[in-house]
């Protein structure tokens, strides 16, 4: 009995080589500050649908005992919930990404994560993660008479991968272009010269692919004299604003909801008619928690005639992640473990007829979850630009 107890209490020695490898891959030094309070697990959205402990992942990494063959290091959506409440400043996202870099270097991808490998190959060959041809990147704009970006224009409209290729998201790109034209905004696009911003592949450990994409885009921006970049995706917004400065460049980056609020305030857009629907707004993680843009989208919706806006139980800083960040949009998530299903429930709980947001990952996940609703549960999924485009 005594020997058994002694064995159970045996101290585990840190695996120094693994610790150093994680550190070299970007593992935050702040990990040693973790005192295992467990607050991160309380706020992690995964624990609404299954058991998962980011605290455990961080603890194992601190001792170099991470199981890189398992799925746990791939679960984090990088939503930012746990860093926002951590009392010790532990870099959970940085730690998680470093572990993915190690796994990527060894070519280890669990079955549910194989989509990351496919996305990486497509990014390398065609500049997008969707296995689409670069030559068709601007096909969404056929018939719109859009101009190529030229130095001196108000904005480069950086369209982004999903808005360029995904059939559902192309509608948002068209709506955005229509609004900008109506407001007299002088803008242009890069078309086939545009490449993915690289945010999601970086979060899945593909650091070298990210650097290649970033350098290609930066060179293109500089060659074209770009000063101000307009984006629809919060992931592009975050990357250009917070990560591209690592390459010693700084561009002014504006999210479409920020510009819409300004255009409406300056009376360059006049909204007409009566929308006549109850709308709730979902804060995308990379627009809200990561970048603090909460008011502009709400200001825009509040100017729409006849629109009744209601808040869901988890909103603003407490917004419930859709599940698509951190490259999860490319990974398999079993039914019953999808955050988006919970979000739709929350929208229905406040009697919303429309769930509005401003992120391609959120819309993609919400549209997929909407398919499982009962026939009499009518809930529209709309991007804010689609609503504004209807009213001009």
Q: In which element (H, E) is residue 201 found?
A: helix 199-203
378: closest CA among 274, 233, 278, 307?
Answer: 278
CA atoms within 13 A on the CB side of 93: 18
Cα(293)–Cα(356) distance, integer angstroms:
15
**Has residue 10 got a pLDDT over 60?**
no
Give the pLDDT confidence of 41-51 residue by residue, as tens digits: 999 999 999 99
Q: What is the pLDDT of residue 2?
A: 43
Tell the residue number behind the tokens 């008479």, with chain if given.
145
Q: Kindly report whether the global pTM for this prediction surpasses the value 0.85.
A: yes
The model's pLDDT over 200-234, given as tens digits with 9 standing for 90+, comes to: 999 999 999 999 999 999 999 999 999 999 999 99
Task: Write phi, then psi, for 280 (nearest 5 degrees).
Answer: -120, 145
Segment 276-328, tens digit of pLDDT: 999 999 999 999 999 999 999 999 999 999 999 999 999 999 999 999 999 99
Taking the alpha carbons at both ends of the chain, their separation in whole angstroms is 78
Tokens read off for 121: 């190959």
State the number of CA atoms in the 13 A half-sphere of 9 facing the CB. 6
At CA 80, angle to CA 74 and CA 81, rounded to 5? 100
How far apart CA 22 and CA 28 sit, in angstroms, is: 9
Q: Which two tokens stand for residue 360?
A: 């391609």
For the segment 74-87, what is each residue's pLDDT rounded down to a tens digit? 999 999 999 999 99
| Closest by CA position to 153, among listed 182, 192, 184 | 184
As beta bridge partners, residue 356 has 281, 382
Question: If you average pLDDT over every residue of the chain, what do you get?
Answer: 93
pLDDT bucket at 97, cuts 50 / 70 / 90: very high
> In the chain, what percentage of residues exceed pLDDT 90?
84
Structural domains of the chain, ranges and CATH numbers in brackets: 10-108 (1.10.1060), 127-261 (3.40.50), 273-390 (3.40.50)
Residue 357 in contact with residue 229, Cβ under 8 Å?
Answer: no
Query: Which of the 8 DSSP states describes residue 319?
Result: P
Q: For residue 14, what pLDDT band results from cuts at 50, 70 and 90?
A: low
3-state helix, strand and coil shares in percent for the chain, rounded to the nearest 5: 50, 10, 40
Of residues 45, 43, 40, the one with CA closest to residue 56: 40
Q: How far apart (Å, rounded) are the C-alpha atoms in residues 116 and 100?
A: 11
CB contact at 8 A, 251 and 240 = yes
Region 79-103 average pLDDT: 93
């Amino acid at each position: 009995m005594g020997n058994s107890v002694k064995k159970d209490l045996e101290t585990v020695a840190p695996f120094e080589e693994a610790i150093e490898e994680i550190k070299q891959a970007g593992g935050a030094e702040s990990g040693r500050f973790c005192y295992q309070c467990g607050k991160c697990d309380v706020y992690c959205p995964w624990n609404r649908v299954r058991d998962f402990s980011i605290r455990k992942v961080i603890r194992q990494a601190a001792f170099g005992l991470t199981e890189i063959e398992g799925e746990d290091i791939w679960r984090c959506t990088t939503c930012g919930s746990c860093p926002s409440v951590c009392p010790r400043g532990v870099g959970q996202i940085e730690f998680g990404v470093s572990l993915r870099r190690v796994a990527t270097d060894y070519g280890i991808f669990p079955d549910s994560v194989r989509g990351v490998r496919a996305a990486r190959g497509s990014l390398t060959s065609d500049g997008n993660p969707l296995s689409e041809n670069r030559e068709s990147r601007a096909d969404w704009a056929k018939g719109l008479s859009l101009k190529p970006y030229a130095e001196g224009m108000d904005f480069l409209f950086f369209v982004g991968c999903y808005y360029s290729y995904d059939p559902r998201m192309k509608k948002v790109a068209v709506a955005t272009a229509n609004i900008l034209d109506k407001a007299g905004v002088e803008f242009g696009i890069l078309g086939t010269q545009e490449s993915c911003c690289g945010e999601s592949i970086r979060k899945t450990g593909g650091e070298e692919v990210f650097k290649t994409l970033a350098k290609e885009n930066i060179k293109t921006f500089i060659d074209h004299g770009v000063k101000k970049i307009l984006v629809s995706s919060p992931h592009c917004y975050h990357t250009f604003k917070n990560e591209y400065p690592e390459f010693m460049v700084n561009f002014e980056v504006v999210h479409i909801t920020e510009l819409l609020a300004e255009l409406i305030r300056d009376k360059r857009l006049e909204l007409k008619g009566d929308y006549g629907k109850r709308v709730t707004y979902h804060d995308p993680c990379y627009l809200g928690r990561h970048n603090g843009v909460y008011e502009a989208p709400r200001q825009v919706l509040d100017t729409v005639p006849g629109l009744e806006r209601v808040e869901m139980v988890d909103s603003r800083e407490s917004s419930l992640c859709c599940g698509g960040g951190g490259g999860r949009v490319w990974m398999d998530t079993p039914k019953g473990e999808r955050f988006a299903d919970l979000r739709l429930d929350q929208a229905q709980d406040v009697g919303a007829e429309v769930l509005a947001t401003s992120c391609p990952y959120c819309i993609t996940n919400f549209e997929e979850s909407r398919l499982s609703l009962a026939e009499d549960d009518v809930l529209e999924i709309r991007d804010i630009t689609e609503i504004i485009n209807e009213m001009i």
